[in-house]
Amino acid sequence: MTTSNATAIPTPNDAPVSDTGAAGIDPSLPLRDDLIGEEPYGAPQLDVPVCLNVNENPYPLADAVVQAITRRIAQVAPTLNRYPDRDHETLRQAFCDYLERESHTSLSVGQLWAANGSNEIMLQLFQAFGGPGRTALGADPTYSMYPEYARDTFTTWTTTPRNDDFTLDVDHLVRAMHEVRPAIVMLTSPNNPTGTVLPMDALERVLAEAERVEVAGSSRPTHPIVVVDEAYVEFRDPGTPSAVSLIDRFPHLAVSRTMSKAFAFAGARVGYIAANPSVIDCLRIVRMPYHLSALTQAAALAALEHTDEQLEQVGHLRRTRQETAAWLREQTYHGKPLQVAESQSNFLLFGGSFADRTQIFDELLKRGVLIRVVGPEGWLRVCMGTEEEMATFRRSLAEVLPLVR
């Protein structure tokens, strides 16, 4: 089990760390001591022909969706002198309708909440349930922003290792829950950066155990909240259930989602969460006033009205993932086939034995292909792009592998 003071580790292709953190910070400023030397989170944003590093949907919005967004925004534009609907109930109902269709789960408006991307949802969760003297528990490797949410809310971040195939080691996690007594158990399905799905029986066991754990740092008997981050869930294989189906059975379950990935809506910054109404009320305590703009709400409603168009590339990207995984397993590095983690997302973690993954990253970048140095040593991550982008990736990687150490 690994415990930290919630300081994220920069990945090799992030900006270099300076003595005072982000470049240009005046050392005489009273920056918090625990933030000295830190860098702003973010994958590189470089002007290259093929960007396969941030797990976006590579296909632009359909014309019908663009027109619907334009109409919706035109309708609200004259009212921008007024604050937006603080509780965005119309949008929350639209998410209820979507989840009933997508995951066959009927929820009420009181069980939904939205924010500016799932990042803000996560921060609200840590603000509401974390804090000084409290711990959040995850399973490594996992999303590299979780330690930063913990850091920013003075929450201790602790992880247990996953199995060698990146599946969740439930026994290890359960033991850690009883030892650490966390306020938050943070799980991800499909997991980032591995793409691994969390089986429902494993999740149910974690949820049942959480009901037997008393949170350390709480002034009264309380039990952990179990958060399942489903940012990439629409890319899962058909028939794979969603954690939202368990919400009515487990009052301490919260399921976070986003429109950034499958919905091709990354630039709009819309995330949402499904949970028991009591959990939603806790988030409402810490949310900023009028946090979701009228423009954001209008754009999201327009996109949800055109769900079919928004999700029409999901099946294609799923097939691209399967084809790319098969191709990667045929490639060799130092005479051995590449390893590829089993994924139900729109990205693949591959390699497993790269002696210098940064060299491979750099060589691909020279050829105009940007992927991600993330996850355990020896691995790289690539997200699925268009047919042309993936052809360039395959051609470039085939050139690079024989050249690297």
Q: In this structure, what CATH number is given to the domain that contains residue 84? A: 3.40.640.10
pLDDT given at position 4:
66
Residues 6+ apart with CB under 8 A from 339: 329, 350, 351, 352, 353
pLDDT given at position 46:
87
Say if 121 falls within a structural domain: yes
pLDDT given at position 25:
85
In CATH, what number is assigned to the domain containing residue 361? 3.90.1150.10
In the chain, which residues have pLDDT < 70? Answer: 4-23
Q: Of 260, 293, 310, which residue sits at a domain end?
A: 310
262 & 356 share domain: no
Tokens for 181, please give them. 């007594």
283-305 in b/e form (b: 16+ CB < 10 A) is: beeebeeeebbbbbbbbbbbbbb
pLDDT given at position 63:
96
pLDDT given at position 186:
98
395 & 261 share domain: no
Q: Of 375, 393, 397, whose CA–CA distance to 384 is shortest?
A: 393
281 & 304 share domain: yes
Domain count, the chain: 2
268 & 190 share domain: yes
**0.85 cut: is pTM over it?**
yes
Measured in whole angstroms, the distance separating CA 147 from the mean position of its chain's CA atoms is 13
Say if 35 falls within a structural domain: no
147 & 240 share domain: yes
d(CA 320, CA 210): 38
Residues 371/53, Cβ–Cβ less than 8 Å: yes
266 & 329 share domain: no
273 & 352 share domain: no
365-379 in b/e form (b: 16+ CB < 10 A) is: bebebbbbbbbbeeb
pLDDT given at position 361:
97
Say if 25 falls within a structural domain: no
Domain containing residue 182? 63-310
215 & 340 share domain: no
